[in-house]
Structure formats: structure tokens, C-alpha cells
Amino acid sequence: MEQLMKDFFLFLSQNKTLTKAAKKWGLRFGAQRFVAGELTDDAVRVIRELNKQGLVVTIDYLGEFVETEQEANEKTEHSIATLEAIGREKLNSQLSLKMTSMGMDISDEVIMRNMRRILDTAKKYNIFVTIDMEDYSRYHKTLEIFKKLKSEYDNVGTVLQAYLYSVADDIQELNAYSPNLRLVKGAYKESPEVAFPEKKDVDENYKKIIKIHLLNGNYTAIASHDEAIIEYTKKLAEEHNIPKSQFEFQMLYGIRSDRHLELVKEGYTFRVYVPYGNDWYGYFMRRLAERPANVWFVLKGMFK
């Protein structure tokens, strides 16, 4: 039953008609639990409060699958405005983005121009930018663009997904770039031809890539709500004398908030992934797919 619900929500997450309709509904039906708000001012308020608690942040202006160059340019302008707000307010926050929202599916010229504009602005304010990984059809292109940008900028990283068979080899190849990577399990529905279908295999591969990347000496963000993964990382760091300054834990805004603060008290860097914007639908559906128990919070939100 849980797998059926997961597949159902992943299917819904890719429905463009529902995505457009959701923009008109606003942040209703429980989405407020996972999304900071629709406006930059909402994001600034949430970041400031999290910073006061000793938490650092990565902010994501939600959006993906733009269809025109104008839309891509508008998303780029909003990312730039977000960076300027972070710099102006002196917030401890990075920026995360999806390159499909910046024009990756439109042309190489559009995506490279927009990414360079974003990274130039981020460099001005000493802000790090993470390129979120998307579905497998865009995986290799994302890595190609990341390599090009990493050769030009120090303030850019990307994300690798543990459910992919090739990810361990890809990490070793990227080692030449000394990359700052966010490692995740993966949140898209992928074919068993490219991804592990069983959770236990994903978990084992996740541990494997965490160990590879940390022992390579690179900065590692472990983005997981799984307590077993968190404890594995702690023990690995202790066994190999890996300093706490070489890695951080990350979780999504609105999930396990008490645990965020506990890890900070233990001396670990903890980063909260905070999304905002009116293009919240795809993100929200993937959060429901990751943990169908979240549906209960949505139902409560609807009746309230």
C-alpha cells in the first residue's frame, strides 16, 4: 500500500496541468508545513528565525520545467533577487536551484548565461549555490554543466542520488574537481534499469558514497531524515578522524525540527532546506511520496 501511494504522488508531481492549477490555489491543503511562503519576505523571515536558533539554511525558490526563455529569465531574476536579499540582510544561507527552472531544457546558451549571472551575483555576496539534481533524464547533462561551472567558480556544488547504480563511479570521477556535494537517497520514480528498486540497497549504497566522498577529503552534506544514516556518518567520522568541519547534516523544512536543534547542540553543522514560492506543487507531492505518513498532516491542514 505504501509503495502504491508513493508511486501515485510521484505521478502527480509530474503533472503540468495540476502544477499550473496549484499556483492559483496558493499554499493550501497542508503545503504550509513544508514551504516557507510565497514571497521573498516570507523566506527572509523564516531564515532569520532559523539562524537565531543556530541553524544554517539553504533557500530554494521553487520551480521547474519552464517552457520559454522569458520564464527562465524571470526565474533567474528571482534567484538573483533572493541572493541580494540574503546579502543585504546578512543571513547565513546558501541558495539551491533546479536548472530546469533556469532554462536547461530550452538551450545550452540560455542555461549557461543564466547560471553564470546567478553565480556572479552569489560570488559578490560570498554565497554558495547548490545545483539540485532532478530526474535521470537530466542527470548526465546536469553533471556536464556542473563540471563546466566548477572550472570557473568555487562557489558551486551539486547533488548526487544514492539510488542510482552509477553514483559511486560518478563520485570518484568528480573527485578531480574537489566538489562540495549534497548526498541524498533520491526522490524521483526511476526505472530499475538505472536505480535500485529496493530501499535496503539504496541505504547500503548511500552509506557507501558517504564514505567514499568523506575519505576523499571533500566537503559532504548528508541530506537525510534517516536516523540510521545520521548515526552511521557520526561513527564513520569518529573512526577516521574526520573533523566536523568537513561535513554537515541537512533536513527539509518542517520535518523533524526538534532533531535539527539536537544535532546543533552536539556540535554539528545543521542546514535546513527551506523552499518558498508559488510553484510549490511538484515539491510538495514528492514530500508526500517520500513519506506517505505526511498525508495525515495534509488532511489535518485541510480540515482546519
Instruction: For residues 20 and 18, give the distance between their C-alpha atoms in angstroms, rounded to a whole number.
Output: 5
Quote the pTM value. 0.86
From 3.40.50.300, 3.20.20.220, 3.50.50.100, 3.60.20.40, which CATH number describes the 36-279 domain?
3.20.20.220
* Residue-range domain boundaries for the chain: 1-29+285-304, 36-279
Instruction: For residues 169 and 126, give the distance between their C-alpha atoms in angstroms, rounded to a whole number.
Output: 31
pLDDT tens sequence for the chain (304 residues):
445 545 544 444 455 554 554 444 544 554 566 788 888 999 999 999 999 999 999 999 887 678 899 999 999 999 999 999 999 999 999 999 999 999 999 999 999 999 999 999 999 999 999 999 999 999 999 999 999 999 999 999 999 999 999 999 999 999 999 999 999 999 788 999 999 999 999 999 999 999 999 999 999 999 998 999 999 999 999 999 999 999 999 998 888 889 999 999 999 999 999 988 876 666 666 666 565 554 444 444 433 4
Longest dimension (CA), the chain: 52
DSSP β-bridge partners for residue 270: 249
Active site residues per annotation: 132, 182
* pLDDT for position 38: 81
- Residue 253 per-residue DSSP state: T
**Going by C-beta distance under 8 Å and a sequence separation of 6 or more, which residues neighbour residue 192?**
none
- What is the separation, in whole angstroms, between the first and last Cα of the chain? 27
Cell 542510482 belongs to 164
In the three-class reduction of DSSP (H, G, I as helix; E, B as strand; rest coil), residue 121 is classed as helix
* pLDDT for position 299: 41
Closest CA to 183 of 158, 218, 146, 152: 158
Instruction: For residues 302 and 304, give the distance between their C-alpha atoms in angstroms, rounded to a whole number.
Output: 5
b/e sequence 134-166, b meaning 16+ C-beta within 10 Å: bbbebbeebbebbeebbeebebbbbbbbbbbee
Instruction: For residues 271 and 23, give the distance between their C-alpha atoms in angstroms, rounded to a whole number.
Output: 27
Give the ranges where the chain is alpha helix by DSSP (H).
2-13, 16-25, 40-52, 69-89, 108-124, 139-150, 167-174, 199-215, 227-239, 257-265, 281-290, 294-303
